[in-house]
A and B are shown apart, each in its own frame.
Chain A
């Protein structure tokens, strides 16, 4: 079974010597004992202030209307939809790690999936704010839901905007439920290790009385496995629906069949970038080097590069298709995108999403946490620019020159973008101190299977976790 593995060729995915005791102690220490520290407190305060700005913005928008943003005809989508697509895309990375990599038995994912799932939940929550506010009369958003109303009307099922509503609804609920249920065993650990009775009660209530009985584990694992398979379908379908919001429109640059796969690739690209943006500081500040090793950073960086190449191919294909079709509007739109008023957005996208990620081909860059962090932040910026580019360059100069017009962001456009980042980090910073930041039970399993085959040697695909059922050992 381990014949194909060169001993010592790869660093381990969990530090040698880690066992159930040390994992439980170290991870629950972060939640239960570790002092807050000025860094966390100042980060939380900053995030809180930005969330406050978002709250003020939302109140002002509800009072004054969407006109407080710079959007107008012809550019009626602008920042709100760019933010929405950007955030929901970031969430996809977490679900992909929990779902597809679970099915593919990528055991190293055991140390990243918990906070990646948390990232998903918070990113999707933040993203959902924007399409609702963008409705214009946000208080009627529930009209999207089919209920027997007094107006005797039903939703328009043929509209991709309606599909989007169902996609976000399913995605949000599934990510929250899966994240929470997957946390039950770890909440039980925190309950049992809590230093005070109040905290034991808090985690005890959340843990629902989880005891870790063999039959419970069996159900739990089955649920995880099937949900993982469904989550893969969910990731691809949800982001395809986001893309169909564009493709169903007739504007040049949107009406393209490549959009669904292109958007899914972009979603995974920015999702992996956000996982790295969170993992690298977490690892440093909470001293998680034993669990988030060089291998993890390097592997996610490789995934990010791979997803990025798909995205780059889509950029190329879009431009090629426009000229190959000889459709005058498509050609003009592409020309405006590259050399028009928003050319800097296009070239910024190329710089961040095409040029700089090529550095990841170099092993030394992939192995340097700082370099990978800088590139990942760049990718996040680049992906936001890309979403903005797709929206604005198609809308500002479409068919008839008399209908052309520029978009200028207002203070509130920028405030909502900054505020959404603040809200995301506010939730994430609370998460890292209140809930188990790494999945302890999965790490225990990883450490156990690693111990059996001598740590540090056989932890490529087959080594950890693919042992025969324990019935054959000892």
Chain B
């Protein structure tokens, strides 16, 4: 077991505010490669652990434009170019009547693109993760809050980081191994 590489040190907290405080201290201390885990979204946490912002809105916008434009193009191509039919003298390219399907596909593609961006950006699905080997981590989805300082961090040092985390008075500190 011990020959597995250390992935990082995991500190466990009982309250969201303690996790926020701890993460803020770690940031001020100069740690840059951190992850924070919580059973519900905690406002401001992502910024503290140096999240780069999210591309979900951009992908949703692209999905919306793509879905709407493609559907509208398809309607134009099929009704005005490929097989124009004269129905009661209406123009083959009846543009107002083509809006409803394009609108629905705008929304559908936006949502699908957003879900794809969420999953791909978060590297999910990933059914197993080294963190799941930590016994107490199962409470990360119920009522505990965790701060992981990763070993890739240039300032990471097993002893010193451990001492730093201990100063935040967490409930426990665990080594996470790959």
Contacts and interface: CB of A to CB of B under 8 A. Distances in A.
B114 A212 contact: no
A287 interface: no
A189 B39 contact: yes
A45 to B, nearest CB: 34
B17 A213 contact: no
A157 B43 contact: no
A interface secondary structure, majority: helix
Interface in A327-345: none
A289 interface: no
Interface in A202-225: 204-205, 208-223
Contact of A163 (B37, B100, B114, B124): B100
Interface string B77-114: 01100110001001000100110110111011011101
B121 interface: yes
B56 A192 contact: no
B127 interface: yes
A219 B101 contact: no
B46 interface: yes
A255 interface: no
B54 interface: yes
Interface stretch (A49-57, A177-185, A290-298, A455-463): A177-185
A220 B41 contact: yes
B176 interface: no
Contacts of A445: 40-41
Which of A163, A210, A217, A441 has the most B CB atoms < 10 Å from its CB? A217
B149 to A, nearest CB: 13
Contact of B37 (A173, A193, A211, A223): A211
A224 to B, nearest CB: 9
Contact of A218 (B46, B83, B114, B115): B46
A470 B17 contact: yes
Interface residues of A, number: 69
Given A20-B142, A174-B107, A212-B38, A469 B44 contact: yes
A152 B83 contact: yes
Interface residues of B, number: 65
Given A166-B105, A215-B122, A158 B141 contact: no
A191 B141 contact: yes
B111 A192 contact: no
B154 interface: no
Nearest to A448: B16
Given A153-B83, A211-B131, A218-B51, A448 B138 contact: no
Contacts of A227: 111, 114
Contacts of A169: 104, 108
B45 A166 contact: no
B49 interface: yes
A241 B143 contact: no
A442 B40 CA distance: 7
A208 B82 CA distance: 43
Interface of A: 19-21, 24-25, 146, 152-158, 162-163, 166-167, 169-171, 173-174, 177-178, 181, 185, 188-189, 191-193, 204-205, 208-223, 226-227, 230, 233-234, 237-238, 241, 244, 440-442, 444-445, 448, 469-471, 473-474
User: What 3 pairs across the A-B complex have the smallest Cβ distances?
Assistant: A208-B125, A154-B78, A24-B142
16 contacts: A20-B40, A154-B83, A157-B79, A157-B98, A163-B101, A170-B105, A177-B112, A208-B127, A212-B141, A214-B45, A215-B54, A217-B40, A217-B45, A223-B115, A226-B110, A469-B44
